[in-house]
Each structure stands twice: as structure tokens, then as C-alpha cells.
A and B are shown apart, each in its own frame.
Chain A
Amino acid sequence: MSPEITPVTTAGAHILARGAVMPARHYLNESGGWKSWLLTTDHKRIGLLYLFSITVFFFLGGLFALAVRLELLTPAGDLMSADMYNRAFTMHGIIMVFFFLIPSIPATLGNFLLPLMLGAKDLAFPRINLLSWYLFIIGGLFAVASLIGGGVDTGWTFYAPYSSMASNSRVLTGAVGVFITGFSSILTGLNFIVTTHRMRAPGMTWMKVPLFVWSHYATSLIFILGTPVVAITILLVAYERVMRVGIFDPSIGGDPVLFQHLFWFYSHPAVYIMVLPGMGVISEVISAFSRKPIFGYSFVAFSSLAIAVIGFLVWGHHMFVAGETPYSALMFSILSYLVAIPSAIKTFNWTATLYKGSISYETPMLYAFGFLGLFLMGGLTGLFVAAIAVDVHVHDTYFVVAHFHYIMVGGTLMAYLGGIHYWWPKITGKLYPEGWAKLSALLVFVGFNLTFFPQFIVGYLGMPRRYHMYPPEFQVWNVLSTAGATILGVGYVFPMVYLAWSWKYGKPAGDNPFNVKGLEWETTSPPPTFNFDRTPVVTDATYSYAPQKEVNVG
């Protein structure tokens, strides 16, 4: 099937897909009715179930973000009462972190693509995979219940003794929700680890595993070894709150700093849970749209593992001013600088991949360029807050807020949107409208920078985070930030519309619309329930675009 040679237009994909037609039978129309969806054990359908549920949570969290930004338009606290504002930013944090960012790429794209990329028929434990989704939904219902009951006002960090003793908001319901959802990501991680070890297609050695799978393997290590610690910490807060036992209550002998140690032991690796899958998507997208192998495959792969492992040693940099002794602050600072090195290696390797490539500018590639720039700035500002002296000044100010939004929104969310667009033809068998997609990518990029760059400045000026009112001299930057937030909001609504439209009315995409390498592109779009008619045998290296013989299928 050698495509005819025609001049490339920006809509390269459309040229190739002109003659494509939808396969007769695939995992979407294999069986219908709500039972086939709610009781499915097909990893692709579970990926879609996750896609719908986290999109709901994404917009719920987004609403709270807009509420916070609108409140901060004016220095005085006039839009909402102080209490309402505290609940708004807390629910924004909890929903976005636990119910959107952590499951975003692993649970949707990861679930969908891991078996396809490994040449397997499904994940190792399909029923556990379904249980993982149900745990996510039950946890989500608890969070919504706590929201209806008035919401949580402790910040997404649940710091004791405020969360365990002083707060009278729905902390218990919110804590139980986060506890249950934690097990959803543990089970996802367990599935990914076992599938990667035990169910690779013949011929697929570890060094031929796609980088998307490497990054999800590293993420799963954090799921397995980190999430239980936050689960028990949240449980201890609930134990303290219900029975006033004093584990974190200083008035009867407890130590609030111990809570921070246990909380951040998970919550720092959690930010690597959020960004590592995004790095996996970007490695795939940059290699695919440059039509050449990723530069330094083994370095990029092992830096994912390095991030996951060293990520567990650095949590103390969240506590430089929390009464941590100078000696342990010293140790955490040096380790925090070490964890920055693998991210630097990845960024340089992505940039080097573009060298002598054949680069096209479809939407996923635009998101990848956006990711490169914004993740770079997020990572570099990480060096600011790792230096203890600067962190003493900028801790708990908008500088830190801007830093982690550059990584989470500029990094993970851009990669998530890029990944959704890149694999949309494989998931739905339809092409997304290229023009609208590029417009929304541009809107997201501009809106994002306008929202969060001013926050660096107002942060260093000293504006603390989680402030309902602020001194008037910070208003200029906050107005800019709120303006950016509205553009960002619009930018996020667009994909919802045109992707849903494309699912129904989009043109059929064909097996490999972008004409790229990868086992997932060797099967039909959308794939059959068992992914491959015959288990593929992998012969050549991953991303090898050089004209070797075609991957021979079974």
C-alpha cells in the first residue's frame, strides 16, 4: 500500500485517508447496550469510560479555576466570601489533581494503547482493570458528595492540624473519596507492570518497547510504591478527625510535620505520575511527526526510570520552611537538583530528534512544540525552588503556583491533548478537523502563557497563594492572569466540540493516517476487540522509518 507521491499540504493526513473506509466489525460496534459498556473487560472500552469520566471532572475542576480567577480580578474579596473562595480553590485542587491529572494519560491513552503497542490482546487482568474504573467512579461520587455537602476547605494538601482539627468542612467525605480513588490508580499501575513484563509480543525485547510504554512503566512504579502511603496518611487524618486521637494534633502531642513528611512522600512522586506519561506521549509524537527514530532511545527510556526512582527521595523540598532542620533541607535540595537532570536529558533528546527529520505540523506536533517550550520553563523554574535560599522567599507564593501549573497544564495537559489528537483516528476510526484543532491549540498556548507567566512575577513580588484578598499593587498581574484564564477556558472547550463532532461526522481515518511506525498502527482503526487478527511478531527496532522490510504480521 504505497501512497502516491503528491505535494504535502498541512493536512497531510487527509491525503492518505482519502480512500479509507471503516472496518465492518471493531470494538465499538462489536456489542452494544449499556451492559456491554458498564461490564466490559476490554481495555479499549475501559479507556473510553475513563475518557468520559475524567472529562467531566476536568470541566468541573475548570469551573472552580475560573471562579478563583474571577475572584482575584479585584484586590478586595468581593465576588465570594472568604469561606467560599477557600472551598473553590480546594475543590479545584482536589478534582484536578486526584480526579483528572493523575488518571488522565495513564487511564485513557495508557489503558487503550499499552496492549496495542505491546502486541497483546488485552491487559494482564481485565476484570481488575474494570474494578479500577469503578473505584475511580465511587471515589468521584464521594468527592461530588463532599462538594454538594459544602466542599472541603483545607487545600488539596489536607495539612493537619487544620484538616484534622480545625476545619469544619466536609473533609471526611473528601478524604474517603481520595482514599478510594487512590486504589484505582494502584490497580492501573499493577496492570501496566504485569502486562509490560509478561505479555509482550514475540520479538519485542525491552529495548524495542515504545517509549510510551517505558514512561507508563515508570509511572506504574510510582503508582504502586507511592499511592499507598498517601492512602494511609489520609486514613490517619480521618482517624484523627473522627476520634481526636492526637496523631497529628500538636495540642495533645502529635506532630503536624510528620503529616507533611508522609503526605509529600507520595505527593511529590505524584507530580511525576502526572508528567511522565506526558513525556511518553511527546516521545511518540515527536518521533512520529519527524518520521525518524527518537534520538538516544535508551537514554530517554532510562531517564523515565531515573525520574521515578529519584522522585521518591526529594519530597522535603516542599518543607524547606515548614520547620524542617537545615541539614535535611540540604539533603533534599541536592537530591532535587539530581532529579532535574533526567528531565534535561529528555528535553535535549527531543530537540535532537527534530534534527534532519521530515517534520509535519499536524495538531499533535503543535502540542508537542508547545509542550517542549512550556515544560522547559516549568522544569527550569523547578531549579529556582530547589535552591533553598530562593525557596524560602517564594514558597507558598504564586511563583510556586506558576511553576507547578507550567508542568501540569503546560506539560501534562498539552501532552494529553496532543495524545488525544494523535491517537483519535485509532480510537474512533475518524479524522478530527485539522483546522479547528490547530486554532484551539494556538488558543490554549496563548491563553496558558497569559494566565501563568504573570504569576511568576507577582509570586516573586511576594503575593501568597490561596489568598482571597491581596494588596492592591498586585492587581495588574492578576488581571492579566484572569484574562489569560478566560482564553484558556475557551481553548479547552473547542476540542470537546469538534472531537465529539468528528466521532460522528468525521471522515474515516484508515489504519495509519499519519503513515507512522508503531504496532498500534498495524491494526485497523478502530481496532477489533482482540486488537490483532494474528499476534504480530516484531522484527525491526521501534520507530525505524528506514526502508527495511515491513513488519511481518504473524
Chain B
Amino acid sequence: MQAGTPLFPVQASTMASRVDNLYFFLIALSAFFTVLIVALVAYFAVKYRRRRVDEIGAPIHGSLALELVWTGIPLILAMVLFVWGASVYFALARPPAETLDIYAVGKQWMWKFQHREGQREINTLHVPANVPVRMIITAEDVLHSLYIPSFRVKMDAIPGRYTQLWFTATRTGEYHVFCAEYCGTNHSGMIGSVYVMEPEQYQAWLGGGGAPQGASLAQTGEQLFTQLACVTCHTGGPTQRGPALNGLLGSTVTLEGGQSVTATPAYVRESILEPMAKVVAGYPPIMPTFQGQVSEEQILALTEYIKSLPAQGGGAHGGAAPAGAPAGTQPAVPDGGTAVPPGSQQPQR
């Protein structure tokens, strides 16, 4: 179990030490000012205690010099702390280019993790050590927050949006996973464990050693694609009424109204649930809504399948498609702090 020293959690990720260094500096700074003020107060209180009933204090009204000193110094210290905190934060907020992506779906009172190779886990997460892992997080009902103290990472799971956090685990072992945003009755039960394994053990676990042999996420997406009759419109043939989806993710799509949008997982999710929000130019707005028929995991599976589609040259989805997106490419990144589903890129008219 947790072998961390009692005063702060074990440093099990690359970022943990950087956050802790700032934390220790802050402790030192606070200790200094606390001791300074408490000592001054105690000294003055004893030295200038009242000796006669009608004794009064010296009529000192203040000194500009002193005021400037204890405005300037705290200001400088504050700015130093701000810059330090912000720089470490930017490293936390921006994942490296190559990451192993795992989907996390918060649902009232459990965490569902979905590996791209198909493994599904509830409240347990297996990750390889020394590999940057990016969690793409969403929620199904209310707000949750994926919090792994030992990696010093936390990100809210917001229904209707994709948010992300990343870490590179440095020590193998088992660490806590908590839900940090109050989400109802069993909020304190929505916990689990992260198992950091050596990369080989992880491959073995992935290969079914530890989990039932199942189709990869993309394959599940493919089955759904046919099952939900998306095939009838979206396979890119000439008679197809819907835009082809090859190499869609990451490309820019021109819409009915003339403006263009970058196709991100949030765009795919929104187009599944609310097709009318963004109709691709040149296509009739006839797609039915799938609201209530697909769960968050199924949307993720469909998105994964769309990513895995081989991109023909100049796919006919009404926009300049980047050529030659190799199959199984890194999945498109939800655009950073993740675009709001609809309308966020639209210029305001």
C-alpha cells in the first residue's frame, strides 16, 4: 500500500517533485513570516506592557518608508511565487507530443477506464512506468474530478466536455485514485487504485494476461458503426448522403453557414448527439439525433473507429483533409481546455 512518508504523498510522477519543491519553498516562506510576526508581537507585548493605569503609548502615526518596504517585498515575493507556480502549471497542463491515451469516464460513483486496445476497467487503472500517459476525461451525469495524489494531478470530469490530464509514472506500485468533486451520495466511494507496472508487465497485462480477450476499442466502434446504421450514409461512396469520415479528425470542415471548424472528438461527439448544430456544407440536414441511444463509452468507441479509418486522398468531407493520416494514428486531441461542444469556434455575428 502507500509507502509514502506521512507528511506528503510519495512522489510517483515526474511532476511530483517539481510541485513539492514549490510546496516546500512556500512552507519555508510561511514559516519565516509566521516566526517573524509572532516573535515581534510577543516581544512588543512583553516589552511594552502597561506599567501604570493611565500610561499611554507613544503617539507614532506611521512611516511611509516602512509601508513601502512591506508592500514592495511581499509584492516581489508574490510575483516570484506566481511565475514559479504558473511555469510548473503549464508543464502540468500541456501534455508531451507522444502519449499513451486512456479514456476515463466518471459515472455516479465509479470510474470507468477504457484503454484503446480494448481493456475496460472499473476503479482500477493499469499504466506502464516511464511512459507519458494522457487521460481524456468526461462524465456521464454530474461533475466528478479524477485525482491521483501521488502524481499530483487532478482534473474535473465535466459531462458534455472532454478534459485531459497527463502524467509520467516513475515508480511502480499501487496508488490512490479519488473523486475530488462532490458528486452525490457515494462520492467517498468513488475511489480506486492505479497500478504502475514495468512496460513489459503492462504489455503482458494488455495482451490479455490480466484482462478478458476482447476487441480493441476501434473494433468495438466498428461494430457500433454498423449496428447504429451509420454505414448507410457515411461510407464515402458516391450515393452516400452523409460526408465520408476518413481522416476526419484533425481536418478542418466547412459548414453550411460558410465558417469552418476543426474536427475534434468534441465535434464528433456533438455531431452524433446533435447533428443539426453543425451541418457540413453541401449535405442535407437529415441526420437523426442519437441522443439517449449511445452512451459516452460508445461515443468514444465510435470516435476511435473513425480515427482508425484509412484516409483516402481528398476524402469528400467538404474540407481540406490532411493527406495520408496513417491508420491507428494518435487520436486527435480534444482541443486543449477542450472546446465547448458547439459554436465555440464560430465568429460571433
A and B touch in the complex (CB under 8 A): yes
Interface residues of A in 316-368 (CB under 8 A from B): 320-326, 329-330, 333-334, 337-338, 340-341, 344-345, 347-349, 351-352, 354-361
Q: List 21 A-B contacts (CB under 8 A).
A: A77-B188, A159-B181, A161-B142, A162-B143, A166-B184, A251-B160, A292-B58, A322-B158, A323-B161, A333-B82, A334-B82, A341-B74, A341-B75, A354-B40, A357-B48, A361-B45, A383-B81, A384-B23, A390-B22, A469-B188, A515-B53
CB-based closest 10 A-B pairs: A292-B57, A462-B149, A387-B85, A250-B160, A389-B88, A354-B44, A296-B62, A357-B57, A388-B89, A337-B78
Q: For A460, list chain B residues within 8 Å (CB).
A: 7-9, 23
Q: How far is the CA of A200 from the CA of B7 in the complex (A)?
A: 54
With a cutoff of 8 Å between Cβ atoms, the chain A residues found around residue B62 in the complex are 295-299, 349, 352
A291-B85 contact given A12-B50, A341-B71, A383-B26, CB 8 Å threshold: no
A369 to B53 alpha-carbon distance, docked (Å): 21
Question: Chain A interface: which of B121-129, B172-180, B255-263?
Answer: B172-180
The answer to whether B246 has its CB under 8 Å from any CB of chain A is: no
Which of B30, B94, B108 counts the most A-chain CB atoms under 10 A from its CB?
A: B30
Least CB separation from B341: chain A residue: A253
Q: A167 contacts B153, CB within 8 Å?
A: no
Which residue of chain B has its CB nearest to the CB of A380?
A: B30
Q: Say which one of A175-183, A371-379, A488-496 lies at the interface with B.
A: A371-379
On whether the beta carbons of A395 and B154 are closer than 8 Å, the reply is yes
Query: Could you list 10 further interchain pairs (A-B, Cβ under 8 angstroms) beyond the known A345-B67, A351-B40?
Result: A155-B182, A257-B158, A296-B67, A333-B85, A334-B79, A349-B62, A380-B26, A383-B30, A383-B78, A462-B150
Q: How far is the CB of A275 from chain B (nearest CB, A)?
A: 17
A376 B93 Cβ-Cβ under 8 A:
no
Q: Does A393 have its Cβ within 8 Å of any Cβ on chain B? A: yes
Say if the beta carbon of B131 comes within 8 Å of chain A: no
Q: Determine if B92 is an interface residue (Cβ-Cβ < 8 Å).
A: yes
B13 to chain A: closest CB distance in Å?
11
- Interface contact B156-A323, CB-CB below 8 Å: yes
Q: Which of A162, A295, A352, A397 contacts B183 (CB 8 A)?
A: A162
Give which listed residue, B44, B180, B185, contacts A464 with CB less than 8 A.
B180
A424-478, CB < 8 A from B: 457, 460-462, 464, 466-471, 473, 476
Instruction: Give the distance in Å from the alpha carbon of A162 to the alpha carbon of B142 in the complex.
Output: 6
Interchain CB contact (< 8 A) of A462 among B9, B44, B142: B9
Whether B78 and A290, one on each chain, are in contact in the complex, defined by CB atoms closer than 8 angstroms, is no
A338 CB contacts on chain B under 8 angstroms: 78
Query: CB < 8 Å: which of B1, B60, B141, B161 contacts A292?
Result: B60
**Are B61 and A297 within 8 A (Cβ)?**
yes
With A333-B85, A340-B78, A387-B22 as contacts: A393 and B1 at CB distance below 8 Å: no
Q: Is A15 an interface residue (CB 8 A)?
A: yes
Q: Chain A residues near B324: list those with CB within 8 A.
A: none
Which residues in B have their C-beta under 8 angstroms from that of A373? 34, 37-38, 41
A461 to B8, Cβ gap below 8 A? yes
Task: List the B side residues contacting A357 at CB < 8 Å.
Answer: 44, 48, 57-58
A497 CB–B CB distance under 8 Å? no
Docked pose: A257 CA to B19 CA in angstroms? 26
- The verdict on A471 contacting B81 (CB below 8 Å), with A292-B59, A354-B48 known, is no
Report how many residues on chain B are interfacial, defined by Cβ distance under 8 Å: 94
CB pair B85 A386 closer than 8 Å: yes
- Bound-state Cα–Cα, A150 to B212, Å: 45
B185 pairs with A359, CB closer than 8 A:
no
Interface residues on A, range: 35 or more
Question: Cα distance A42–B101 when bound, in Å?
Answer: 67
Query: Is B290 an interface residue, CB under 8 A from the partner?
Result: no
In the complex, which of the residues B4, B49, B74, B189 contacts A359, with contact meaning CB atoms closer than 8 Å? Answer: B49
Chain B residues positioned under 8 Å from A167 (CB to CB): 184
Chain B residues in 8 Å Cβ range of A386? 81-82, 85
Task: Give the shortest distance, in Å, between B318 (CB) and chain A (any CB).
Answer: 25
- What is the minimal beta-carbon distance from B64 to any residue of chain A, in angstroms? 9
Cβ-based interface call for B329 (8 A): no
Closest approach, in angstroms, between the C-beta of A171 and any C-beta of chain B? 12
Q: Report the separation of the CA atoms of residues A342 and B18 in the bound assembly, to the nearest whole angstrom.
A: 29
The segment from B198-206, B236-244, B279-287, B332-340 that touches chain A is B332-340
The B-contacting residues of A in range 271-321, CB under 8 angstroms, are: 290-293, 295-299, 320-321
Chain A residues lying within 8 Å of B94, measured Cβ to Cβ, are 326
Evaluate contact between B23 and A390: CB separation under 8 angstroms.
yes
In the assembled complex, which residues on chain B have CB atoms less than 8 Å from the CB atom of A165?
Answer: 142
Contact residues in A for B141 (Cβ distance below 8 Å): 161, 166
Instruction: Decide if B180 touches A396 in the complex (CB within 8 Å).
Output: yes
**Bound complex: CA A256 to CA B138 (Å):** 13
For residue A51, CB closer than 8 A to chain B, the reply is no
Q: Cβ of A486 < 8 Å from any Cβ of B?
A: no
